Chains A and B, each alone.
Chain A
């Protein structure tokens, strides 16, 4: 068994391919002879050049979904290709909201298991071997599929660099979704964009995260203010997402996002393994916590043993003074 062909789910947002998909396309070129993308929506033609540049020779275009959530129609289109024998040896999905939906639907449709939370993917003896960060990232588990393909892999963002392969535009081929009946009944009736200034959490150069040590919901405002002053993005520990202080989209950690910024500032975060796995690969970590035994200090390059309610406001004042 060798890996001839890999497909990558290419998600498009605001007319651009999301970085997590480009990471997978460029990494897939190191694993298989042929890399192709699967895309949906009305902007596929517009991103064909980018997909090609990162290594995809072809893009299977499911087309506009007419307001349907992507999970069912996109999985149906891929399942049809697999059933016809035109499918790949492996399919990679970014660990996004829609990527996880498509992978789960497809897994049940074609009766193949799926490996999720992949952070490393290599070829070994003609098969793909995955890596998964477990126990707060202190250990790495390796896994592989034992049954027939195609293998389905959901890969966490930032697992590989997104590198240009210098390819020409990908050829767009139509791959319309077959009718999936009543399973495809969920419809988006309105989209709400929450006003956000500054960079995205998983693309920001600076991330400022707050945790339970903030004490109460209102105190999260200072995390946002500090993030804005540093041109960064605000993040959060699971504890305050669970408590309803900030939405799930802010969560950094095992069940949230993985970030690898130049600087990660952890404010009032104790550093549960759940959190560490999402941020310990930041280039530099600064932690502020009043408990000197907090696990966050075991990964911090600069650890401040102190009260976030004192240190952070002073930091904000000092940054404002600098202008």
Chain B
């Protein structure tokens, strides 16, 4: 079974984020890392391929400047290869433009299953995987907390407000996985060394046969018109616990008539 995992390389969340002053788009210069949200999809894909006994995991990603450092992390975990779409024309893409590019790249890998995170940690639009499914003409199951493949269908436990639904879906399909549902493996030293020589196909928009006017800032039909400071919330009273801080909390709750 061949599984494609959509992965995103994002600015380190530990570093303070910034907007590009010209476009108000999120600044993605500098080193990018594998979005932690995607590590669950990578781990799940590796487990599903293991269970199937054959096939491989292909990463599909879109990033500026041919960036591969985040992809190498996922390759070190065990993915076999990566398809990276990198093109200056992609800068400023909206979610639908991104979905068009990723869908075209995924098609090349002819997967049985496409996994993605429910949303990225930087842009967190949360619609790209479903847009990809529609563009590829595939069914989709979102917010999976458990995924099992049997023959040519996938069973998913899908998160709901009340609990979860058991969902059955024929393959090929797109499934988005929520965080925390599997424990992503740490790349071994051997894995890290092997990742250096794993194939990363770097493609341009033209390679995918996509009209550059459909993607990037040219194809984006939305714009950020301004950014302003939100109302600040001041900090209040600080109490250092000396064994009786719970009494202060109770007093506070009483004042609010919660108790």
Contacts and interface: CB of A to CB of B under 8 A. Distances in A.
Contact of B127 (A109, A154, A185, A288): A154
Given A105-B134, A146-B220, A280-B233, 15 more contacts: A101-B140, A105-B130, A113-B95, A113-B222, A140-B227, A140-B228, A142-B227, A191-B160, A230-B259, A241-B178, A241-B180, A249-B159, A255-B179, A307-B241, A318-B246
Per DSSP, chain B at the interface is mixed
A314 B121 CA distance: 36
Contact of A311 (B225, B245, B258): B245
Contacts of B259: 230, 319, 322
A82 interface: no
A138 B229 contact: yes
Nearest to B131: A108
A5 interface: no
Interface string B153-174: 0000111111111111110010
Contacts of B224: 141-143
Contacts of A280: 233
B124 interface: yes
A189 interface: yes
B256 A284 contact: yes
A300 interface: yes
Interface residues of A, number: 98
Interface of A: 13, 69, 71-72, 75, 95-97, 100-101, 103-105, 107-109, 111-117, 129, 133-135, 137-148, 154, 181-194, 196, 200, 205-206, 230, 238, 241-245, 247-249, 254-255, 262-263, 265, 274, 280, 284, 286, 288, 292, 297-307, 310-312, 314-315, 318-319, 322
Contact of B250 (A97, A145, A241, A315): A315
A184 to B, nearest CB: 7
Given A286-B252, A305-B240, A191 B165 contact: yes
Contact of A182 (B24, B137, B168, B226): B137
Contact of A97 (B128, B159, B183, B226): B159
B99 A108 contact: yes
B162 A114 contact: no
B96 A114 contact: yes
Nearest to A75: B134
Given A194-B164, A255-B124, A299-B233, A304 B249 contact: yes
Nearest to B239: A304
A263 B236 CA distance: 14
